Chains A and B, each alone.
Chain A
Amino acid sequence: EIVLTQTPGTLSLSPGERATLSCRASQSVSSNYLAWYQQKGGQAPRLLIYTASNRATGIPDRFTGRGSGTDFTLTISRLEPEDFAVYYCHQYGNSPWTFGQGTKVEMK
């Protein structure tokens, strides 16, 4: 099973600042099948990025995914008020599919 470790656990930032979230896999993610999701309180997750760097439909270009193999990052270039949420990485290249434990981006 691939273990995904997300850092930091919490990121305290102000609107307009840049957020950089990390996701490290315990082994190489097949075909870079790594996705990022955003989840706000009481809501279902929303797909942001798939295959490491592709934005899902309707996702603003301030969200950028990068990385390959075992190291991946999600960058939010300038935080908007609606971006404060929990972010999860997810690998879907190897069964069992697994998620990271999440990074909370909170308002400073």
Chain B
Amino acid sequence: EVQLVESGGALVQTGGSLRLSCAASGFTFSSYDMHWVRQATGKGLEWVSAISAAGEPHYPGSVKGRFTVSREDAKNSFYLQMTGLRVGDTAVYYCARGAGYGVSRGLDVWGQGTAVTVSS
């Protein structure tokens, strides 16, 4: 079964740091781009970062310079290191599978999400 499982969400103070993890199973992880998407309570979806199969990171302006995405193919895992956290970063963070083998089909597999709360 293709599956993604996030972990690492927690309550943290403004300015703090947190590392989220996403463990993949059931597919050839190293062949896929992987993404983080977040959703604040009652709000829509916001793309947070991506890392290509080749290890190239991508970020939107809202988190660039504060968040770092990385992957460890030997462990079928990828990560989101978040620093300088703000109240506005409070959300459920989902990991999701992107393009694989050069084929883009949107985000076709999602984890169940992990909650990050940033308190002032």
Contact = CB atoms under 8 A, between A and B. Distances in A.
A46 interface: yes
Interface string B51-77: 000000011110000000000000000
A97 B47 contact: yes
Given A44-B111, A44-B113, A92 B61 contact: no
Interface stretch (A17-25, A72-80, A99-107): A99-107
B44 interface: yes
A50 B108 contact: yes
Interface residues of A, number: 26
Q: In the complex, which of the residues B50, B105, B110 has the most CB atoms of chain A within 10 Å of its own CB atom?
A: B105
Interface of A: 1, 31, 33, 35, 37, 39, 44-47, 50-51, 54, 56-57, 88, 90, 92, 95-102
A39 B106 CA distance: 15
B107 interface: yes
Interface residues of B, number: 22
A98 B47 CA distance: 6
A90 B108 contact: no
A92 B50 CA distance: 11
Contacts of B59: 96
B46 A99 contact: yes
A88 B105 contact: no
Per CB-CB distance, the 7 closest pairs between chain A and chain B, nearest first, are A35-B106, A96-B60, A44-B110, A50-B106, A97-B47, A50-B105, A99-B45
B107 A47 contact: yes
B60 A92 contact: no
B110 A45 contact: yes
Contacts of A44: 94, 110-113
